[in-house]
Amino acid sequence: MTNASAVEIEKKIEKIIYRTALALDDNDWKSWFDLCDDAFFYSITSFSPEINKKMTYFSGNKKELVGLMDMLPKHNTDHSPLHRHTSVYTVEVADEGQSAKAISSVTIYQNMLDGINSHLDSGESRLFVIGKYFDEFKIEDGNPKFLSRETKLDNRRLDKGSHWPL
Amino acid sequence: MGQIVTNDGQNVSGSPKNDSLNDTLKRANEAFIKEQQNIFKNVWVPVCHESELLNPYDFRTSSIGNDNIIICRAPDGKVNALLNVCPHRGMLIERRPQGSFLEGQASGNPKRITCMFHAWQFDMRGNCVYVAREKEGYQDRFCKDDAGLRRLRCSVGFGGFVWVNMSDQPVALLEEWIGGALSPIMRQISSSPLEVVHYHKEIIQTGYKDEILNGLERNAGLAANLFFPFGHFASHNADEKTVPNGENKFPAPNATKSVKVNLFPGYIFHLSGPTLHVSTITPVSQNQVMVENRGLAPTSDSEQERLARSKHYNSIFGPFRPLKSEGPTPNGKPESNSPELSKHYNEEWVRWMEKHYNENGSLTNRVVAQGQKANPNLESEASGPKVVVVGASHAGIAFADKLRKNNFTGPIAIFDRQVGGPMERPPLSKGFLLGGGEIVESKSLLRQKKWYKTNKVRLKTQSIVHSVDTKQKTITVNNGVVVNYDKLVIASGAKPRELPDTVGVANAFTLRQPSDANAIRQAANNADSVVIIGGGYIGLEVAASLRKKGMVVSVIEAAERILARVASKPLAEHFQKLHEKHGVNIFTGIGVDKINHEDGIFAGVVLSDGNEIKADMLITGIGVFPDSKLAADAGIETQREDGGAILVDEAMQTSVKDVYAIGDVSIRRDQSLAVESVHNAQETASIAAAAITNNALPAIQTPWFWSDQYDTKLQSVGIVPVGESDIYQVARPGKKEGGISFWSYRDENLIAVEVVNDPATYMEARQCLDTKQSPDPKQISNRSYSPIDSGGARS
């Protein structure tokens, strides 16, 4: 693999991460799933200094996530939109261009819609969570697809809110 | 905003009766402050789990009400709770949520809690161990010994949780406070060590009480069926479609069904399928509450089991769980049992808050009164049991057994302060200390559960009998529950004597209850050496057990020989040689001048000859005293005005009609020496049972006793009157090698026989004493001489 093709893959990976952020911001689950391999696995984790352990808050494979999204209309939901601010820090291409890993920072804001008292709260933006994305990609014909995403949150105080991928 | 509820339970939040918004806000704030003072600073709070501070010097910080606290694990493994505030200037000391003091910090020495402002240092028990410039700055006006961190009442239990009570005088002990509320899940959460594997917290914009009451609405689908004193209640899953008859099988990874216990004022233990979820509330303001969520799993989980539990947990309790719509039931109304739950909860809340509204009644009285009212099952006891036994001791259980065997058909209730079913005590100083909880769990229960059911004996554990009213014929149990009786039998046993200098010293133990044995066993697993004060049977049995574990064992006996009060001199010499052969250091005729400890942990003893013995742990076995305070307080005659055994007649009846005393707590008026043994427990139980059922009193049997040390079994029959100069012993060889017996005589009369590793001779000796035969003392040493039917008769 030439340096030029490696750079090209890196750029594609950056783009797919940003496109994912947009799709997730829009709750456009289908567009996001289209960017994921069938073997995709998603998790939200956090390390708790309180109990000195790494924890998993949410996890599922692609099939489970699709099922969960289909059930969303039957769930009570905080409708306040989430906005992801993502910066891709590192991309490492491996296996002669067949796979890659990326680390990105993510800050997610919540723009209040319903809240406790929408009369007062709606319209306000609040910091929701902070953390990092740890992504793994499968690359076929020069095109990356998500194999896994681990959203490592710094938050352990998580007030009632989203119950879908961040 | 939190609701404001008046004494009569009326919600007056936003009521038109309120004359202004300011008044409403003011009252809400007042209610919040009262809740903090009246409730949260007086109840037992599960602040964290023991797995959050696994190792010595680990700590965890938390808060109760508006007080910051720190929970530390001391070097001996004990968990202590302290106020996290420096007594010097009132500054918060430790700010991290969790960590270890083992290593030094920028502003703190290793193994010390150090205030960053002026470097005052404290050990893990809160003792102040260093004050900067103590002498220069304070001269003699101040001593660091007077400046420890405030120690809080702290207990670890009920699934390994650390419970803290801010009050120095809680309205109830932890076991009393919990009562039976956790019993629906106790077996599950106690069957294997747990650890916290999930933690998250959330701030909810509502008052804590609203959050709890809202949570009750979410109990739809759970059938509330158990109410407990102090506002606790338990609900279980009524989903019989998936689980026909079973209960939750946690910690099995395939467990199903749901059991939820709500402890007042807001601590929820929820077994849901294979997961244990525990949530605790901390009010932040009148309209904000923090909820901490912990998920627990067995430490023994495989990776796959842990993963499966995690998925289940997250789907129900995780921060990203779906909030499913409950939907209407067929009749259009949500299924909820919340009205009766809310009522139970609100009544408790009002009761605690009333203390402020009405200073005339003490909180305790109100809670006690509530205890009588809240539990219909207990209330019904007031007209129920006719024979009430205080203490599930050997004597208490034997009494109930004899009573039934005498065809007594009335109700029998036994109240006991211990947790769990009563156990055989003899194994506690022997095999149990060598490890393997199975010995106590399965074999050493005095009676299996089935026995209680078959014999219709109601055993109420964790029940402390506070008082006896002999005129009204009632006893008062936990929380003020009053129980009447026709016949009362006190079988409260005895308590071990303690040396004053050992009280509060870590790694210093006495041995009487299963919990004592458990503590000794745990400490022994981390210790290399032990000092045992007292060379009686308990001390020697413990010495043998711990020596088997490979520990360095030193036994100190103040008398000139071991077993000085209970055995003949030849037998004592035999056992001294036995122990010395096994490597036990025995010191006789010497006292203990000083108990040494470092940072409150036992370090050794200084003998009266000035020599020091260093050791990792101490066990005191210097005898027991009758637990007769209950009787003495009730005006029942005891040996002395300030206590001693309860005096009884030949039918075991005390100075008060229809009140009996049996076992170690009693002594017949014609006896000079109390006998603490299983035999005595059984015999006195038989006598009392016969008296109550109007049967002929059984004949007094010759006392017997046994002891196991190493591979040596001692069996004795009769009581050796030690110290009487006219008593002499004759040794008789055993039938097999290693067997020997010592026959005690007064003149030609056989008094007692002590037999070592020779059961056949023991049976012969017992027959002799039961039939009042006295074998010839001149011939008894001859193995070929038969002591039975030898023609000798005792005068």
Handedness of CA B276, B266, B224, B420 (dihedral sign): positive
Instruction: List CB contacts (< 8 A) between A162 and chain B.
Output: 320
Can you tell me the distance from the alpha carbon of B461 to that of B459, in angstroms, rounded to the nearest whole number?
6
Q: Which residues of B make CB contacts under 8 Å with A?
A: 51-52, 60, 96-98, 196-205, 294, 310-311, 314, 318-325
Rounded mean pLDDT, B497-505: 81
Three-state secondary structure string covering chain A: CCHHHHHHHHHHHHHHHHHHHHHHHCCCHHHHHHCEEEEEEEEEEEEECCCCEEEEEEEEEHHHHHHHHHHHHHEECCCCCEEEEEEEEEEEEEHHHCEEEEEEEEEEEEECCCCCCHHHHCCCEEEEEEEEEEEEEEEECCEEEEEEEEEEECCCECCCCCCCCC
Rounded mean pLDDT, B588-612: 89
What pLDDT, on a 0 to 100 scale, did the predictor assign at position B72? 96
| Candidates B53, B55, B200, partner chain A, best to mutate (most A CBs within 10 A) | B200
Closest partner residue to B311 among A59, A75, A158, by Cβ?
A59
Q: Work out the pLDDT band at B221, boundaries 50, 70, 90.
A: low
Q: What does the domain layout of chain B look like in residue ranges?
A: 383-495+626-692, 498-622, 711-770
Q: Does the pLDDT at position B408 exceed 70? A: yes
Kindly determine whether residue B203 and residue A159, on different chains, have CB atoms separated by under 8 Å: yes
CB atoms within 10 A of CB B594: 12
**CA of A77: which chain B residue's CA is closest?**
B323
Judged by average pLDDT, the poorest of B187-201, B452-466, B575-589 is B452-466
Work out the angle between the directed axes of helices B338-357 and B21-34 (0-180°, nearest 10).
90
User: Could you tell me how many residues make up chain A?
Assistant: 166
Q: Report the percent of chain B where pLDDT is more than 90.
A: 43
Q: Which residues of A make CB contacts under 8 Å with B?
A: 44, 46, 48-53, 55-59, 68, 71, 74-77, 116, 156-164
Rounded mean pLDDT, B293-318: 93
Rounded mean pLDDT, B38-64: 95
What pLDDT, on a 0 to 100 scale, did the predictor assign at position B613? 94
The domain A3-153 is placed in CATH, from the list 2.30.110.10, 3.10.450.50, 3.30.360.10, 3.20.20.70, at: 3.10.450.50
ipTM over 0.90: no
Q: How confident is the prediction for chain B on average, in pLDDT?
A: 83
Q: Report the percent of chain B where pLDDT is more than 70.
A: 85
Q: Work out the pLDDT band at A101, boundaries 50, 70, 90.
A: very high
Residues A104, A17: contact at Cβ < 8 Å?
Answer: yes
Q: Does the pLDDT at position B374 exceed 60? A: no
Range picked from B72-81, B469-478, B691-700, B785-794 for highest mean pLDDT: B72-81
Q: Does the pLDDT at position B4 exceed 60? A: no
- Write down the architecture of domain B498-622 according to CATH: 3-Layer(bba) Sandwich (3.50)
Helix (H, G, I), strand (E, B) or coil at B451: helix
Instruction: List CB contacts (< 8 A) between A158 and chain B.
Output: 200-202, 319-320
Distances (CA, A) of B391 to A9, B114, B117, B382, B608: 78, 46, 52, 19, 39
What are the residue ranges of helices labelled H in B98-148? Answer: 134-138
Helix (H, G, I), strand (E, B) or coil at B314: helix
What pLDDT, on a 0 to 100 scale, did the predictor assign at position B430? 67
Kindly determine whether residue B52 and residue A50, on different chains, have CB atoms separated by under 8 Å: yes
Rounded mean pLDDT, B262-289: 94
Can you tell me the distance from the alpha carbon of B358 to that of B370, in angstroms, rounded to the nearest whole number?
16
What pLDDT, on a 0 to 100 scale, did the predictor assign at position B19? 54
CB atoms within 10 A of CB B82: 25
List pLDDT tens digits, range B457-480.
988 877 788 889 999 899 988 656
Judged by average pLDDT, the poorest of A27-36, A96-105, B324-333 is B324-333
Q: Report the percent of chain A where pLDDT is more than 90.
A: 71
Q: Where are any strands of DSSP class E within B449-493?
A: 457-460, 467-469, 474-476, 482-484, 487-490
What pLDDT, on a 0 to 100 scale, did the predictor assign at position B360? 34
Q: Work out the pLDDT band at A109, boundaries 50, 70, 90.
A: very high
What pLDDT, on a 0 to 100 scale, did the predictor assign at position B337? 55
**CA of B195: which chain A residue's CA is closest?**
A51
**CA of B310: which chain A residue's CA is closest?**
A56
Kindly determine whether residue A76 and residue B324, on different chains, have CB atoms separated by under 8 Å: yes
Rounded mean pLDDT, A25-50: 95
What pLDDT, on a 0 to 100 scale, did the predictor assign at position B12? 39
Is B383-495+626-692 a domain of CATH 3.50.50.60? yes
Higher local confidence (pLDDT), B239 or B295: B295
Q: Does the pLDDT at position B3 exceed 80? A: no
| Amino acid identity at B350 | V
What pLDDT, on a 0 to 100 scale, did the predictor assign at position A148? 98
